[in-house]
């Protein structure tokens, strides 16, 4: 297969590309605008593969999308390009409307035109896989409730509302035009190459520098944590084996309060790099990394609990997460400790000024 992946320089997209190049014989075309969260350095392990191609483009640009589709002739599209940070969506929702809604519409229209011109097996086997989030479902009420594929949408933030809108567009293009689509909704991802503004990498890197670890409210919000490499395996399963028109929820079976996550990271760091073992950046008087926790006012509209019922994808496609939270978070913390140069380049912005590949400025 040749798979076009939008947003392939992002956190989840790059994990999907690494998985495909390392574990299959498929070819990948990575279409990415390279916004602040797009980092081609996350693809260094596979960027030299003859089965990998990069296209610097914006999904909102129909001319570019048409050219890429007609030139590369993909057998499937995995649509991951999105603005995804809730706090940023509260401060500036316009970019989320533009990328997540208008961009998805543009990609759907281009894909529909491309698909209609296919013939025979190429047309029958073509797939448009839209990758979404469990945040479209809003907040769970009861402690035993789980999001299923039939859960009604009730988004709480501009981010989740824009993703909900894109999900609806994808379903409409399936129902109205017959475009062979699939949708997946995932829980919170974590793992290597995660952009440092997100909770887990932020806590790791702040703790290493002896800086405050900000926790919203009392950290009581519950999320289902999914190791990104498990997610990549699931996404590939869906695009290659999933039933057209279906939605699959993907979760890690790892519900944790945010404060539990922060405590776990602090305790791992106490074990791996005890306070006092390094002088640079460490605050004096610390006995352990938990001393850095700083509770801050909660953000507007903060959902309390998300939890995924992932039984459908396990039952129909045989996927289940390989990592527990305990194994995945240890791997994650160790990866950041081993890749502080990657982190530094993201934090100081130099990753955007470097030129990689075919003279592409990032």
Q: What is d(CA 286, CA 292) in angstroms, rounded to the nearest whole number?
A: 8
What is the Rg, in whole angstroms, of the alpha carbon atoms belonging to the chain?
20
- Report the interhelical angle of 104-116 vs 62-72 (nearest 10°): 40
270, 333, 258: which is closest to 295 by C-alpha?
258
pTM comes to 0.93
Give the C-alpha distances (Å, rounded to integers) separating 323 from 35, 189, 328.
30, 12, 5
Give the C-alpha distances (Å, rounded to integers) separating 362 from 56, 139, 206, 346.
10, 37, 25, 11
For the segment 144-184, what is each residue's pLDDT rounded down to a tens digit? 899 999 999 999 999 999 999 999 999 999 999 999 999 99
Q: Tokens 């990689």 identify what position?
A: 356
Residue 23 lies in a domain: yes
335: pLDDT strictly greater than 60: yes
278: pLDDT strictly greater than 70: no
Structure tokens belonging to residue 176: 């109205």
Please state which of the ranges 47-51, 263-267, 269-273, 354-358 shows the lowest mean pLDDT.
Answer: 354-358
Residue 322 backbone dihedrals phi, psi, to 5 degrees = -90, -25
Asked if 196 and 130 count as a contact pair (C-beta separation under 8 A), the reply is no
**In this structure, are strands 255-257 and 360-361 parallel, antiparallel, or unpaired?**
unpaired
Residue 354 lies in a domain: yes
In this predicted structure, what is the pLDDT of residue 358? 42
For the segment 199-228, what is each residue's pLDDT rounded down to a tens digit? 999 999 999 999 999 999 999 999 999 999
Residue 287 lies in a domain: no
Q: What is d(CA 42, CA 351) in angstroms, rounded to the nearest whole number?
A: 10
16: pLDDT strictly greater than 90: yes
Structure tokens belonging to residue 280: 């640079």
User: What share of the chain has pLDDT > 70, as a percent?
Assistant: 95
Residue 280 lies in a domain: no
User: What share of the chain has pLDDT > 90, as a percent?
Assistant: 85
Could you list the active site residues?
134-135, 159
In this predicted structure, what is the pLDDT of residue 282? 53
Residue 200 lies in a domain: no
42: pLDDT strictly greater than 60: yes
> What range does the domain containing 173 cover?
2-189+226-252+306-321+350-361
257, 219, 255: which is closest to 147 by C-alpha?
255
Tally of domains in the chain: 1
286: pLDDT strictly greater than 90: no
Residue 135 lies in a domain: yes
For the segment 173-203, what is each residue's pLDDT rounded down to a tens digit? 999 999 999 999 999 999 999 998 889 999 9
Mean pLDDT across 3-12: 98
Residue 147 maps to which CATH number?
A: 3.40.50.720
Q: What is d(CA 179, CA 116) in angstroms, rounded to the nearest whole number?
A: 9
Residue 261 lies in a domain: no
């Amino acid at each position: 297969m040749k798979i076009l992946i939008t947003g392939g320089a992002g956190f989840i997209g790059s994990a999907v590309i690494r998985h495909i190049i390392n574990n299959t014989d498929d070819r990948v075309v990575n279409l990415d605008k390279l916004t602040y969260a797009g980092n081609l350095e996350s693809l260094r392990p596979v960027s030299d593969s003859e089965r990998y191609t990069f296209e610097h483009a914006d999904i909102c640009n129909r001319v570019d999308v048409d050219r890429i589709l007609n030139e590369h002739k993909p057998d499937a599209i995995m649509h991951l390009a999105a603005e995804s940070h809730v706090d940023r969506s509260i401060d500036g929702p316009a970019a989320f409307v533009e990328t997540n809604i208008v961009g998805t519409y543009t990609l759907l229209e281009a894909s529909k035109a491309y698909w209609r011109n296919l013939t025979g097996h190429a047309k029958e086997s073509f797939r448009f896989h839209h990758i979404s989030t469990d945040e479209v479902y809003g907040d769970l009420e009861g402690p035993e409730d789980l999001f299923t594929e039939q859960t009604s949408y009730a988004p709480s933030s501009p981010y989740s509302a824009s993703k909900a809108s894109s999900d609806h567009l994808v379903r409409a293009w399936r129902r109205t035009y017959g475009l062979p689509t699939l949708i997946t909704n995932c829980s919170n991802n974590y793992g290597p190459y995660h952009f440092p503004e997100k909770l887990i990498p932020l806590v790791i890197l702040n703790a290493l520098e002896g800086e405050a670890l900000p926790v919203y409210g009392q950290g009581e919000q519950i999320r289902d944590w999914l190791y990104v490499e498990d997610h990549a395996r699931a996404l590939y399963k869906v695009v290659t084996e999933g039933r057209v028109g279906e939605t699959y929820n993907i979760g890690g079976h790892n519900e944790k309060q945010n404060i539990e996550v922060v405590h776990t990271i602090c305790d791992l760091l106490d074990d791996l790099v005890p306070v006092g073992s390094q002088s640079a950046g460490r605050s004096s008087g610390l006995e352990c990394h938990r001393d850095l926790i700083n509770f801050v006012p909660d953000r507007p509209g903060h959902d309390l609990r998300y939890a995924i019922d992932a039984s459908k994808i396990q039952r129909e496609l045989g996927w289940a997460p390989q990592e527990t939270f305990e194994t995945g978070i240890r791997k994650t913390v160790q990866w950041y400790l081993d890749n502080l140069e990657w982190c530094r380049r993201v934090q100081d912005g130099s990753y955007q000024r470097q030129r990689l590949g075919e003279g592409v400025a990032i």
